Amino acid sequence: MDKIFLNELKVETVIGIWEWERKIRQTVVIDLEMSADIAKAAATDSVEDTLNYKLVAKRIQQFVEDSSYQLVETLAEKIAAIVRDEFDVQWVKVRLNKPGAIRGSRDVGVLIERGDRPDG
């Protein structure tokens, strides 16, 4: 099975458990890998025959901007559900980073996979 990926989608949102975090917007960085059969699209050269990553990106950006979860775990789970449910994706890997959350570390976050793995 083929995969379509989207890397380093940066979105401003309310995220965090501390009172001060609930009052500001912070950047989260999202990487997605999504299973897709791109053979038909490759043959037809038509975006209608593939997973339209621009539509996925716009939907995720809007959702994350409008959200206000405490945990990156919850946000990642919700992103995975949107990709699977709204875009008919069988498998998705979501990496969600929160840059600067820990002093001395570039970023922290979670990596989840949901659905049936495309490669077994």
* Residue 120 counted as domain residue: no
| Number of domains comprising the chain | 1
Specify the 3-state DSSP secondary structure of 103: coil
* Residue 60 counted as domain residue: yes
Helix axes 72-86 and 53-66, enclosed angle (nearest 10): 140
Instruction: Say whether pLDDT at 119 is over 60.
Output: yes
Distance CA 89, CA 42 (A): 18
pLDDT in tens, 26-42: 999 999 999 999 999 99
**Which amino acid makes up residue 61?**
Q
Provide the domain limits for residue 107: 2-115
pLDDT in tens, 73-113: 999 999 999 999 999 999 999 999 999 888 888 889 999 99
* Residue 14 counted as domain residue: yes
- Report residue 35 as tokens: 């299973």
pLDDT in tens, 60-83: 999 999 999 999 999 999 999 999
Instruction: Say whether pLDDT at 1 is over 80.
Output: no
* Residue 28 counted as domain residue: yes
* Residue 30 counted as domain residue: yes
User: Residue 118: which pLDDT band, with cuts at 50, 70 and 90?
Assistant: low
* Residue 26 counted as domain residue: yes
Q: Which residues pair with 28 in a beta bridge?
A: 11
**Which amino acid makes up residue 67?**
S
Query: Is-contact 67 89, C-beta < 8 A?
Result: no
* Residue 18 counted as domain residue: yes
Query: Is-contact 5 75, C-beta < 8 A?
Result: no
Q: What is the CATH number of the domain that holds 97?
A: 3.30.1130.10
Catalytic (active-site) positions: 98
Q: What is the pLDDT of residue 13?
A: 98
Instruction: Say whether pLDDT at 57 is over 80.
Output: yes
